[in-house]
Amino acid sequence: MRQMVVIFGKNLVSMAALIIVGVMGILLFSVFWQGSKAVITGTNEKFVVMLDAGHGGYDPGAIAEQDIYEKEINLQIAKKTRDFLVPSGIAVILTREEDEDYVPEGVTGRKTKKQIDLNYRISMATGAKADIFVSIHVNSTVAGKKSGAETFYYFGSEESKNLAVNIQQELIKISGMNRRIAKPGDFYIIKNTSMPAVIVEVGYLSNINEREKLRQTWYQDQVARAIAKGIADFFQNK
């Protein structure tokens, strides 16, 4: 028996191609829209977030070649995270909006200055009656081989752990990100807050490839969006 062979005309082939492209476009838009919805959907309650851009002023944090300072990247990502959260109705307060610290003039001693600065940021969160405290930092090592984001919570705080897990789960979705898990850590600022608190190390300034990405607006947007989505998910699951 002879098989019937159907040869499509150019118009039909073109139409089929357009349909395929259209379906792919819809799927891509759907994925993007669902991701956006999770961040911007309004909440039933009025939550307050204290975002801490780590370091600042006299304290640059980690420093890389070409005068790249951790404190500047921290602030850029903190502001972007705020911009992702505000549309959802979440109130966001930054511990700093510019390159500044909270150490009075005349105070000396590295440890003393650091503790005064951290205590002021903690008091800001307490005074604002913040529901959570999120401190944003960039990591660094001598060898420069490590990469990837890490989120830390204080031992024994179940709510802080839940917050850290939510944020870290979003961060590891970023393309090329190491699949680290949220970890407990004994850090002063998350140990002494009265509300759930975490430290988010968004990457390693000492890693050449990651350092270049952390300086780019498109990558900062991805990191900030992940942090914001993790925060939104934490509130939605309360």
Task: Give the per-residue pLDDT at 4.
Answer: 39
Q: Which residues face 201 on adjacent strands? A: 137, 150
* Helix, strand, coil percentages, rounded to 5, for the chain: 45, 15, 35
Could you give the C-alpha distances from 234 to 25, 163, 207, 226, in angstroms and in order? Answer: 31, 6, 30, 12
Task: Give the per-residue pLDDT at 45.
Answer: 79
Contact 63, 138 (CB under 8 A): no
- Give the C-alpha separation, 136 to 139, whole Å: 10
- Say what percent of the chain tops pLDDT 70: 82
Please give the average per-residue pLDDT across 5-23, as a whole number. 43
Token representation of residue 48: 């307050």
Give residue-wise pLDDT tens across range 161-176.
999 999 999 999 999 9
Does the pLDDT value for residue 194 go beyond 80?
A: yes
- Give the C-alpha separation, 236 to 130, whole Å: 16
Pick the CATH number of 43-236 from 3.40.630.30, 3.40.640.10, 2.40.40.20, 3.40.630.40: 3.40.630.40
- Give the C-alpha separation, 88 to 72, whole Å: 26
Give residue-wise pLDDT tens across range 29-46.
333 333 444 465 666 679
Torsion 81-86-92-98 (CA) sign = positive
Helix/strand/coil for 156: coil
Burial, 212: exposed, middle or buried (Cβ in 10 Å; 0-12, 13-18, 19+)? exposed
What global pTM score does this model have?
Answer: 0.83
Task: Give the per-residue pLDDT at 39.
Answer: 65
CA atoms within 13 A on the CB side of 233: 19
Does the pLDDT value for residue 11 go beyond 60?
A: no
Map out the domains of the chain as residue ranges. Answer: 1-40, 43-236
Contact 126, 95 (CB under 8 A): no
Please give the average per-residue pLDDT across 54-81, as a whole number. 96
Contact 97, 71 (CB under 8 A): no
Q: Which residues face 92 on adjacent strands? A: 49
Give residue-wise pLDDT tens across range 92-148.
999 999 999 999 999 999 999 999 999 999 999 999 999 999 999 999 999 888 999
Contact 41, 89 (CB under 8 A): no
Does the pLDDT value for residue 213 go beyond 70?
A: yes
